[in-house]
């Protein structure tokens, strides 16, 4: 009677053991990996090795130079050797992790007939007009013409000439080492027109560590896809001055050609506005010697801030009550609001001082009045003070009609725009004749310098962004990377590599476009809203969540496993005891 009962309980016990083992197996084999997989943060695969490879990228900037020799410029036996190519490469010594090499590829050739004709004309301007007919040279390339030593194209003591449209002229020499000497002169001229160390240092100013304390003068605008330019006329005293400015005409005649020349650099949009009763934040001082008012140099930084808050006012049409109880009206001019745009804004202000403070001059730090009566702030814009001609007050009653001389104003504003973009005077080689920019205000090779600087800056920014993203993902473990973010990263890496290739082969325009794409993709990947790191839970909170779920389930399983293990060990030991 006891035996079948015992057999039944044995079977029960065995079944029980098997059930417990099965439970444990399911938990450990299926459950644990499933829980691990479903609670990890999703990270689409990223090209980490390629990103770290970008840091050791070697940038080679190639400048294709065509050197054209006229008949009398070099000895005859040297002329027989034409055409051939010489490469001059040197490393730019910057303390930056990317090595940058500058490579001038000079293609020497003989002059064609029409070029000989042009270069034998009387003056350099006529020669230039002859050369103006053929199509524009590609961005980044230069042409240097070598004329004979005694040619009268250039004044006698001048050795070289740099023109506004990627063209230069250099004197030849009748010497054994003609090619070497001329080659050096050509390099000097080409460097002045293209890449020098300071152009690249200014472009990389934000990335080079030691330049943090250096002069703020080298702070051009950061590279961006577009810029918004706003011209504002500030009239604090409409009762005395009825100011009119033909801003539309001025923009069309002077600013638009300049921006058209710069259109490779980005999109530009131009607005204008007129603000009444907008005062500067600083009270001008009276100078009895010249019976005029002045703003000292050290008070200039305080001028901008109170004005800046009013520059965007016409966007919201608020009625604002300044301290003296007058209402400030805003009148929108040409163009729309800038509230929606995320492009950097450049503000150019023209201030017509009040009658009580006229004439108003700006003094530099030595106390002398500034000729332009204007100052600018890097990465912000410029302010110019326009004094009303005292003759306009004679006999007429207030308000006096003032018509602003837009040529004078635009000369200053365009110069400030050039400085803000970092287009500075190049370092010219000695005894070089230099022609100023034509009506656009910018020379073609200045645009090239800007494009080079911007391309290098874009590549540096894109590389830094990608590297930062990789480092961040390593440091903060709970950031999710979705698939579209990963594809942006891949696109950015590919664009950086393409830009480097294009720079090495001398195609500046496509290199710039590729570098812009690299920056856009990398910024889009880094600033994607989905990359916000998930909430952080400290460890004790994590335990507090898991324990009520897992502990009740784990305790019976673990206890039964333990019991099974003990029993199995006992059953192993038992046969030993019995002989």
Contacts to another protein from residues 379-418, by CB under 8 A: 379-380, 382, 384, 407, 410-412, 414-416, 418
| 315 neighbors 337 (Cβ within 8 angstroms) | yes
Q: Does 370 bind another protein (CB under 8 A)?
A: yes
- Of 416, 544, 410, 516, which is closest to residue 457 (Cα–Cα)? 516
Helix (H, G, I), strand (E, B) or coil at 141: coil
Q: Which stretch binds another protein (CB under 8 A): 55-63, 78-86, 95-103, 301-309?
A: 301-309
Q: Does 359 bind another protein (CB under 8 A)?
A: no
**Residue closer to another protein (CB basis): 103 or 207:** 207
Contacts to another protein from residues 105-124, by CB under 8 A: 124
The footprint of another protein on this chain (CB under 8 A) covers a number of residues equal to 92
Give alpha helix (H) positions in 279-396: 301-311, 313-316
Contacts to another protein from residues 239-258, by CB under 8 A: 254
Which member of 302, 326, 401, 403 binds another protein (CB under 8 A)?
302
For residue 170, which phi and psi values (nearest 5 degrees)?
-130, 145
Q: Rounded CA gap, 524 and 489, in Å?
A: 9
Rounded to 10 degrees, the C-alpha dihedral 323/326/327/329 comes to -110
For residue 309, which phi and psi values (nearest 5 degrees)?
-65, -20
| 55 neighbors 467 (Cβ within 8 angstroms) | yes
Q: Does 289 bind another protein (CB under 8 A)?
A: no
Q: For the window 432-451, what string marks contact with another protein as x by the rule CB under 8 A? A: xxxxxxxx-x----------
Which member of 209, 425, 572, 574 binds another protein (CB under 8 A)?
425
Which member of 21, 82, 531, 557 binds another protein (CB under 8 A)?
531
Q: Does 378 bind another protein (CB under 8 A)?
A: yes
Task: Give the gyration radius of the chain's Cα atoms.
Answer: 37
Q: Does 427 bind another protein (CB under 8 A)?
A: yes
Burial of 86 by CB count in 10 Å (0-12 exposed, 13-18 middle, 19+ buried)?
middle
Q: For the window 328-347, what string marks contact with another protein as x by the rule CB under 8 A? A: ----------xxxxx-----
Q: Does 430 bind another protein (CB under 8 A)?
A: yes
Q: For the window 460-479, what string marks contact with another protein as x by the rule CB under 8 A? A: ----xx--xx-xx--xx---
Task: State the nearest-atom distance from the C-beta of 235 to another protein, in Å.
Answer: 21
Q: Rounded CA gap, 103 and 100, in Å?
A: 10
Which member of 23, 50, 528, 557 binds another protein (CB under 8 A)?
528
Q: Does 36 bind another protein (CB under 8 A)?
A: no
Contacts to another protein from residues 137-166, by CB under 8 A: 158
- The encoded tokens of residue 536 equal 């952080």
HSE value, Cβ hemisphere, 13 Å, CA-based, for 515: 29
Listed in order, strand segments (DSSP E) in 277-422 are 285-287, 292-295, 330-332, 345-351, 360-362, 374-377, 381-385, 400-403
Q: Does 42 bind another protein (CB under 8 A)?
A: no
Q: Which residues contact 486 (CB under 8 A, 6 or more apart)?
A: 44, 45, 46
Q: Does 318 bind another protein (CB under 8 A)?
A: yes
Task: State the nearest-atom distance from the C-beta of 351 to another protein, in Å.
Answer: 14
Helix (H) or strand (E) holding 312: none
Task: State the nearest-atom distance from the C-beta of 529 to another protein, in Å.
Answer: 5
**Residue closer to another protein (CB basis): 64 or 381:** 381
Contacts to another protein from residues 174-213, by CB under 8 A: 206, 212-213
């Amino acid at each position: 009677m006891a035996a079948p009962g015992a057999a039944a309980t044995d079977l029960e016990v065995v079944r029980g053991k098997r059930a417990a083992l099965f439970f444990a197996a399911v938990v450990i084999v299926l459950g644990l990996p499933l829980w691990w997989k479903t609670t990890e943060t999703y990270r689409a695969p990223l090209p980490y090795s390629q990103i770290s490879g970008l840091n050791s990228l070697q940038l080679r900037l190639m400048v294709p130079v065509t050197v054209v020799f006229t008949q009398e410029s070099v000895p005859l036996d040297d002329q027989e050797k034409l055409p051939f190519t010489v490469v001059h490469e040197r490393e730019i010594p910057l303390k930056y992790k990317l090595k940058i090499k500058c490579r001038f590829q000079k293609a020497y050739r003989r002059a064609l007939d029409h070029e000989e004709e042009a270069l034998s004309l009387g003056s350099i301007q006529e020669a230039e007009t002859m050369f103006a007919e053929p199509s524009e040279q590609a961005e980044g390339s230069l042409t240097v013409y070598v004329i004979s030593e005694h040619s009268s194209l250039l004044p006698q003591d001048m050795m070289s000439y740099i023109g506004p449209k990627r063209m230069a002229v250099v004197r030849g020499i009748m010497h054994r080492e003609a090619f070497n000497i001329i080659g050096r002169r050509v390099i000097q001229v080409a460097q002045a027109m293209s890449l020098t160390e300071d152009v690249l240092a200014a472009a990389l100013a934000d990335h080079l560590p030691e330049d943090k304390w250096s002069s703020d003068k080298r702070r051009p605008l950061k590279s961006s896809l577009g810029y918004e330019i706003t011209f504002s006329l500030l009239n604090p005293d409409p009762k005395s001055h009825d100011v009119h400015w033909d801003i539309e005409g001025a923009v069309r005649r002077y600013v638009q050609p300049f921006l058209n020349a710069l259109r490779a650099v980005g999109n530009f949009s131009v607005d204008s506005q007129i603000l009444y009763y907008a005062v500067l934040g600083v009270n001008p001082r009276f100078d009895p010697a010249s019976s005029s008012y002045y703003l000292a140099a050290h008070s200039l930084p305080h001028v901008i801030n109170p004005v800046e808050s009013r520059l965007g006012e016409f966007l919201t049409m608020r009625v604002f009550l300044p301290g003296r109880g007058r209402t400030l009206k805003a009148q929108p001019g040409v163009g729309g609001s800038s509230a929606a745009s995320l492009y950097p804004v450049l503000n150019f202000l023209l201030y017509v001082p009040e009658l009580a403070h006229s004439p108003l001059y700006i003094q530099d730090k030595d106390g002398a009045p500034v000729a332009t009566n204007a100052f600018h702030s890097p990465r912000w814009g410029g302010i110019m003070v326009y004094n009303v001609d005292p003759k306009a007050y004679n006999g007429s009653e207030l308000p006096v009609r003032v018509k602003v001389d837009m040529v004078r104003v635009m000369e200053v504003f365009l110069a400030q725009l050039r400085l803000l973009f970092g287009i500075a005077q190049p370092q010219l080689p000695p005894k070089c004749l230099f022609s100023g920019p034509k009506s656009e205000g910018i020379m073609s090779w200045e645009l090239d310098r800007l494009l080079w600087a911007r391309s290098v800056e874009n590549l540096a920014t894109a590389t830094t962004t990608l590297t930062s993203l990789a480092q961040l993902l390593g440091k903060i473990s709970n950031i999710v990377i979705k698939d579209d973010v990963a594809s942006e990263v891949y696109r950015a890496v590919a664009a950086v590599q393409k830009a480097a290739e294009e720079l090495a082969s001398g195609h500046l325009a496509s290199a710039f476009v590729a570098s812009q794409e690299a920056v856009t993709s990398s910024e889009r990947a880094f600033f994607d809203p989905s990359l916000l790191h998930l909430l952080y839970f400290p460890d004790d909170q994590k335990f507090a969540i898991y324990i009520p779920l897992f502990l009740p389930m784990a305790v019976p399983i673990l206890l039964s496993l333990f019991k099974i293990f003990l029993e199995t060990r006992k059953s192993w030991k038992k046969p030993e005891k019995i002989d």
